[in-house]
């Protein structure tokens, strides 16, 4: 059986013992094992700090961009093989696998082009600078330089390729070396990515290391110049940001966590209109794509009270058309959940929602196509809660599967209040053509969400789906969503750069900071 090793300190290393077994979620057959027991993470940190960091910091943004471009190219060339790994160990359909892999190469390509635009410089200077006293000579600039530490990335199971690449692209462009840890259950794709990058020899030594499995004592090595970017459940995020050394050494932490993302159908939208159809299409896509295992999936659907039945009918019609089963079978668009744990959690989550005020109004009664009684399959499911305030659990508990809950609102103001009951989300989407209503919804929804998609008639055919994270727009959200912020073009680099107020002779500073 395939054995996943970790790539640390410039070489492949195997842990002790058998370790964890990775499965094919469609058949429950074992596909690989991996262990990180006994691996020397102190050595990995030292390698990043002593070798990778200095090499990256010696490069200009344009040179780092060229490295990232080469990474994107190497992964693109291995696309088919990575898609196969994602189907095998993630239970992804081919479409879902492409979403992850192409998201990875696309984000790398985007940051490569940003590096090219930043050009032959190593320092970013913020704004115009300021005269600090009466002397026109004494000036202050805010300069941003890469931290001479290590960027540790801990990723969730659902996007092993994109998760690795989107974080690595930003850190490497900023000039920080990376130690990346995928979730163990679906680590095969990340392992293959690392193999491809090592084989292609596109990375400066020490720039990227991979931990193929459990974190062990990895995070105990974080120090004051290091950063930790985490994606996963809110519980793990809370645990990691409260580690003694993380608090004691003021380690910078970014958390991308759970989110009860909302879709709001405007009161002006008539059934059958273009905006209505786009709304139905988006909800169906976001519930079923990646089997609902997307941090940006729509979990709560708010519609005007008088539209509840019509929306329910339209969603059932749309969701009924989606075939679920083994991703290798013809026509299947919804695969299994990624693990037995996920399946158990989704079953328990639906029970929690239905005992907390929601009613199950539809669930696919088809058998999963191509499955032979094995696999972690869960049918697409629609719930409804007619009293959204009484159904508190719907706003608190994320069911990480193909499940969403339909709820009514009575006024635009109430729609905003109900969305806010989710305590902070990654994304909300609004479907409306009413200018005034759109303005007031934006006021209410934006502070509670990291991203807001407004779908109206003139963009129904052009807008991206709400669940699609774009490298040019920030990803992350307040409150429950973790309070983090990733990507967003150059904004993403700030996490890896130290902003320092540099004061002195204006001419000297401008020369030293590469402004002239
Ligand atoms: P998880 O159980 O919290 O695990 C996430 C990662 O943390 C995994 O790599 C896991 O490693 C690691 N981990 C767990 N305990 C750790 C510890 N004590 N020390 C160091 N690392 C530790 O989450 P998940 O089940 O993989 O992901 C599902 C959740 O992620 C969902 O709630 C979803 O909403 C959220 N998510 C959020 C985003 C976003 O961008 N906001 C994106 C995707 C997913 P092991 O696998 O080795 O245990």
Annotated catalytic residue 256 = yes
CA of 406 to the centre of ligand 1 (A): 27
400 lines ligand 1 (CB under 6 A): yes
214 lines ligand 1 (CB under 6 A): yes
Shortest-distance Cα residue to atom 36 of ligand 1 = 232
Nearest to 218 by CA among 175, 267, 184, 266: 184
Which atom, in ligand 1's list, is nearest to the CA of 157?
A: 26
C-alpha separations of 14 from 38, 212, 284, 352, 457 in Å: 9, 9, 43, 41, 55
108 lines ligand 1 (CB under 6 A): no
Across the chain, how many H-helices and E-strands are there?
15, 22
Token duo for residue 65: 């961009």
Give the containing element (helix H, strand E) for 360. Answer: strand 359-363
**What is the β-pairing status of strands 178-181 and 403-409?**
unpaired
Which atom, in ligand 1's list, is nearest to the CA of 255?
A: 41
**pLDDT computed for residue 372 by the predictor:** 85
What's the pTM? 0.95
Q: Which of 183, 191, 234, 449 to mutate to test the pocket of ligand 1 (most atoms within 8 A of CB)?
A: 183
CA end-to-end distance (rounded Å), the chain: 58
Token duo for residue 296: 């940006």
**pLDDT computed for residue 516 by the predictor:** 83
CA of 345 to the centre of ligand 1 (A): 14
pLDDT tens digits in sequence order for the chain, 516 residues long: 899 999 999 999 999 999 999 999 999 999 999 999 999 999 999 999 999 999 999 999 999 999 999 999 999 999 999 999 999 999 999 999 999 999 999 999 999 999 999 999 999 999 899 999 999 999 999 999 999 999 999 999 999 999 999 999 999 999 999 999 999 999 999 999 999 999 999 999 999 999 999 999 999 999 999 999 999 999 999 999 999 999 999 999 999 998 999 999 999 999 999 999 999 999 999 999 999 999 999 999 999 999 999 999 999 999 999 999 999 999 999 999 999 999 999 999 999 999 999 999 999 998 899 888 899 999 999 999 999 999 999 999 999 999 999 999 999 999 999 999 999 999 999 999 999 999 999 999 999 999 999 999 999 999 999 999 999 999 999 999 999 999 999 999 999 999 999 999 999 999 999 988
Which of 286, 295, 398, 485 is catalytic? The answer is: 295
Token duo for residue 434: 């009413």
Contact 357, 351 (CB under 8 A): no
Shortest-distance Cα residue to atom 28 of ligand 1 = 232
Token duo for residue 278: 């786009």
CA of 158 to the centre of ligand 1 (A): 9
The Cα–Cα gap between 405 and 407 comes to 7
CA of 79 to the centre of ligand 1 (A): 25
Annotated catalytic residue 284 = no
**pLDDT computed for residue 352 by the predictor:** 98
């Amino acid at each position: 059986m395939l054995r996943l090793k970790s790539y640390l300190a410039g070489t492949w290393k195997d842990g002790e013992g058998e370790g964890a077994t990775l499965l094919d979620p469609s058949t429950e057959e074992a596909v690989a094992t991996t262990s990180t027991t006994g691996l020397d993470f102190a050595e990995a940190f030292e390698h990043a700090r002593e070798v990778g960091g200095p090499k990256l910091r010696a490069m200009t943004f344009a040179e780092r961009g060229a490295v990232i471009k080469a990474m994107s190219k190497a992964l693109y060339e291995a696309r088919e093989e990575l898609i196969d790994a994602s189907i095998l160990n993630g239970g992804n359909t081919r479409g879902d696998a492409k979403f992850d892999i192409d998201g990875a190469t696309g984000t790398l390509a985007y940051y490569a082009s940003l590096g090219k635009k930043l050009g032959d410089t190593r320092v970013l200077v913020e704004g115009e600078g300021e005269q600090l006293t009466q002397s026109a000579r004494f000036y202050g600039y805010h300069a941003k330089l890469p931290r001479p530490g290590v960027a540790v990335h801990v990723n969730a199971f659902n996007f092993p390729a994109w998760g690795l690449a989107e974080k690595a692209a930003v850190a490497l462009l900023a000039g920080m070396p990376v130690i990346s840890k995928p979730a163990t259950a679906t680590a095969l794709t990340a392992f293959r990515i690392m193999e491809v990058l090592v084989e292609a020899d596109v990375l400066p030594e020490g720039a990227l290391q991979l931990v193929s499995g459990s974190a062990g004592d990895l995070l105990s090595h974080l120090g004051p110049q290091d950063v930790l970017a985490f994606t996963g459940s809110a519980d793990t995020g809370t645990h990691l940001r409260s580690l003694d050394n993380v608090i004691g050494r003021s380690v910078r932490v970014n958390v991308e966590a759970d989110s009860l993302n909302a879709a709001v159908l405007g009161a002006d939208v008539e059934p059958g209109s273009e905006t209505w159809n786009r709304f139905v299409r988006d909800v169906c896509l976001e519930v079923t794509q990646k089997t609902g295992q997307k941090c940006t999936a729509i979990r709560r659907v708010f519609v005007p009270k008088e539209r509840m039945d019509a929306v329910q009918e339209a969603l059932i019609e749309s969701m009924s058309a989606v075939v679920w089963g083994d991703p290798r079978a013809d026509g299947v668009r919804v695969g299994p959940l990624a693990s037995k744990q996920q399946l158990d959690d989704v079953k328990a989550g639906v029970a929690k929602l239905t005992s907390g005020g929601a009613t199950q109004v539809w669930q696919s009664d088809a058998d999963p196509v191509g499955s032979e009684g094995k696999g972690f399959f869960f049918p697409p499911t629609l719930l409804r809660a007619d009293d959204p305030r009484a159904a508190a659990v719907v706003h608190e508990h994320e069911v990480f599967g193909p499940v969403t809950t339909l709820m009514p609102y009575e006024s635009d103001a109430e729609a905003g209040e109900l969305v806010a009951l989710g305590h902070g989300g990654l994304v909300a989407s609004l479907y409306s053509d009413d200018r005034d209503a759109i303005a007031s919804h934006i006021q209410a929804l934006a502070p509670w969400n990291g991203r807001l998609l407004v779908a109206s008639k003139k963009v129904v055919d052009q807008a991206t789906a709400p669940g699609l994270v774009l490298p040019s727009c920030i990803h992350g959200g307040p409150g429950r969503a973790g309070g983090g912020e990733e990507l967003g073009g150059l904004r993403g680099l700030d996490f890896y750069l130290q902003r320092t107020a540099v004061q002195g002779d204006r001419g000297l500073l401008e020369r030293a900071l590469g402004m002239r």
